[in-house]
Amino acid sequence: MEYILIGKIVATHGIRGELRIKSSFEYKERIFQKGFVLYIGKDKIHEVISTYRHHKDYEMVTFDEYNNINQVLKYLKQDVYVRKEDLNLQNDEYLEKDLIGMQVECAGKTIGVVRDITNTSPTTKVMEIEIDGKRVLIPYHPDFLLKVDLQNGKIEVKLIEGMI
């Protein structure tokens, strides 16, 4: 069973057991809904979402069987996971973490390897590519990612003049 890190519980909200989760996960709309199972902490404690709402930069949830802040304090500062199979990804869908280590090509020529994907702002992500020992950042955006071939471990990108 493969668990995917989707965020971290950063605070409680109110006295009724609501938790504030900070998450930049790409498929939030699939997981943050009533009845979906989240796994909390290093022991992957199974919890079912009872209520969900988005508030500012946070995903706010309550879990079944909890209705008091004192019951959920144990989850503060814990990582939150989902099982990959629960995401029901289609053939053309992938997780950002699946791209790490893939070869990057431009115009049919291998130029480097993906080392990381990072948020540079709440709405912007970049791929960190290692090219000849140097770190180059390419926007993680459909205008620059032309094709992702998971089977062969390759990503075709479009570069603009002066990018590398």
Domain co-membership, 31 together with 82 = yes
pLDDT in tens, 11-46: 999 999 999 999 989 899 999 999 999 999 999 999
Q: Which residues face 148 on adjacent strands?
A: 155
The position carrying tokens 């090509």 is 105
Secondary structure of 30-80 in HEC code, one letter for each residue: HHCCCCCEEEECCCCEEEEEEEEEEECCEEEEEECCCCCHHHHHHHCCCEE
Q: How many domains does the chain have?
A: 2
pLDDT in tens, 112-162: 999 999 888 877 889 999 988 899 999 999 899 999 998 899 999 988 887
Residue 128 to residue 136: CA distance in whole angstroms: 6
Q: Please check the confidence at residue 52 and state whether its pLDDT lies above 80.
A: yes
What pTM was computed for the model? 0.84
Residue 99 to residue 124: CA distance in whole angstroms: 17
Question: What is the four-CA torsion angle of 12, 7, 28, 98, rounded to 10 degrees?
Answer: -170
Domain co-membership, 54 together with 27 = yes
For residues 49 and 63, is the Cβ–Cβ distance under 8 A? yes
Structural domain boundaries enclosing 125: 96-157
Answer whether residue 164 is part of any domain. Answer: no
Domain co-membership, 66 together with 110 = no
For residues 155 and 148, is the Cβ–Cβ distance under 8 A? yes
Q: Mean pLDDT across the chain, nearest whole number? A: 93
CATH number of domain containing 146: 2.30.30.240
pLDDT at residue 13, as a whole number: 96
